[in-house]
């Protein structure tokens, strides 16, 4: 399956990645992509960029090295009400937003009730395009309910290749992602493949994601980032970037 745009990667701005923006874009061009989304960790993640980093994106060209560049954020879901660590005015002006749960940032007890309540609230946010790595068993989820609500709200669910690596630190990701894919196939819910690259060589590398989609017989038409234009048309932000 050919992916034209990687929807999830980080630069040195996130504090625990290893390449600059220019280096990441250059690698995307070298790999023949049409686009790249750079989604730095939002401020509540330790070591992440401050608020004003995300408020200054207008200075950055959206085309580099022949690559369509989307500048966004991986915002942190902070509580069961769907709290996020960027204000709405900032979220609105991003090119796209991924909302994810991370151990240092989600402040509630990690029960399935709290996690699902948070996901329901976040998916109703008009400026959240993607739920990031919902496969992490440390944040238990009901994948059938998640797929239904994602379909209803037009939110994309991420198959995160980094999660699925054998050396990955998230819990039960293969089993959970398989459940999610089966539910998405049943409901007709769109997904994205995200590399979650923290170093340039990992951009658009999806061996685990591809194998799991093959294993589940997941249809290509439900993968949003097989085309840059297709992905752009499915983003809630709806910006012409």
Confidence band of 240 (pLDDT split at 50, 70, 90):
very low
Question: Against a cut of 0.95, is the pTM above it?
Answer: yes
* Structural tokens at position 70: 């989307």
Cβ neighbours, 10 Å, residue 40: 24
- Predicted pLDDT at 1: 87
Task: List the chain domain ranges.
Answer: 5-234
Which residues, in sequence order, are bridge partners of residue 98? 74, 130
125 phi and psi angles, rounded to 5 deg: -70, 125
Among left, alpha and beta (phi > 0; psi -120 to 50; other), residue 24 is: alpha
Looking at the DSSP assignment, which residues form a beta bridge with residue 97? Answer: 73
In CATH terms, the superfamily for domain 5-234 is: Metal-dependent hydrolases (3.20.20.140)
Q: What is the pLDDT of residues 195-217, one digit of tens each?
A: 999 999 999 999 999 999 999 99
């Amino acid at each position: 399956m050919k992916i034209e745009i990687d929807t999830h990667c980080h630069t040195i701005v996130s504090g625990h990645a290893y390449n600059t923006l220019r280096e990441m874009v250059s690698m995307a061009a070298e790999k023949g992509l049409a686009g790249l989304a750079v989604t730095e960790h939002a401020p509540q993640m330790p070591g992440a960029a401050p608020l004003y980093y995300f408020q200054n994106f207008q200075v950055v060209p959206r085309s580099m090295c022949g690559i369509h560049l989307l500048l966004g954020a991986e915002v942190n879901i902070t509580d069961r009400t769907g709290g996020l660590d960027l204000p709405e005015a900032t979220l609105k002006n991003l090119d796209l937003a991924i909302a994810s749960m991370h151990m240092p940032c989600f402040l509630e007890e990690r029960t399935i009730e709290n996690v699902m309540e948070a996901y329901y609230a976040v998916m109703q946010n008009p400026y959240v395009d993607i739920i990031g790595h919902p496969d992490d068993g440390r944040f238990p989820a009901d994948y059938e309910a998640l797929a239904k609500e994602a379909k209803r709200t037009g939110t994309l669910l991420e198959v995160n290749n980094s999660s699925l690596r054998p050396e990955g630190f998230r819990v039960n990701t293969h089993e959970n992602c398989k459940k999610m894919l089966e539910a998405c196939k049943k409901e007709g819910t769109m997904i994205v493949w995200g590399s979650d690259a923290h170093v340039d060589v990992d951009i658009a590398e999806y061996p685990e994601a591809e194998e799991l989609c093959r294993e589940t017989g997941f249809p290509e038409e439900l993968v949003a980032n097989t085309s840059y234009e297709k992905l752009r048309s499915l983003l809630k932000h709806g910006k012409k970037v």
